[in-house]
Amino acid sequence: MTVTLDLQIACDGNVPGQQQFQQWVDVALQQVTEDCELSIRLVDQAESAELNGTYRGKYYATNVLSFPFEAPVEIEPILLGDLVVCVPIVLKEAIQQNKLVEHHWAHMIVHGCLHLLGYDHIDDDEAQEMESLETTLLKSLAISDPYQEQGDI
């Protein structure tokens, strides 16, 4: 299985490289058995807030938005959808949560990819299942449980 990643950098900021995003996506999507594609767009707070308001009715910037693609007919490779990640929010959260920035980036990408696969955290059971899977996938990247309180970095 091959995951084709279209990385779009639409804002300034220190962000991981294509290879790092590809690694995180490959880990997150290892349960997918067919070739697939997705886009990750790195944006500023204004674009994040605009998209969050338009598509979720929440008028503020957020860390990651997931837009699954629902094809009217089966096409190959499978188009999973788009992730929109707000660079300033991810950097701010990493500092606030006392996490390594790279680890928080990995978490946001894994989290977003799982949303593209249909996972959610609307109710407690779904949240527990999704968080457990995130923790397992991140552990395979030598990243500690993002839901446990972090010590000094």
We report the CATH number of the domain holding residue 57 as 3.40.390.30
Residue 147 in domain: no
Residue 71 in domain: yes
- pTM of the complete model: 0.93
Q: Which distant-in-sequence residues (6+ apart) come within 8 Å of 112 by Cβ?
A: 40, 64, 65, 66, 83, 85
What is the number of structural domains in the chain?
1
Q: Is 87 exposed, middle or buried (0-12, 13-18, 19+ CB in 10 A)?
A: buried
Residue 144 in domain: no
Does the structure show a pLDDT above 80 at 73? no
Dihedral (CA of 27, 93, 145, 66) sign:
negative
Residue 150 in domain: no
Residue 15 in domain: yes
18, two tokens: 């294509």
pLDDT for the residue 77: 80
Name the residue with tokens 């308001």: 53
- Give the tens place of pLDDT for each residue, 89-141: 999 999 999 999 999 999 999 999 999 999 999 889 999 999 999 999 999 99
In terms of residue numbers, what domain contains 35?
3-139
Name the residue with tokens 């446990």: 148
Residue 109 in domain: yes
Q: What phi and psi, each to the nearest 5 degrees, are found at residue 14?
A: -85, 110
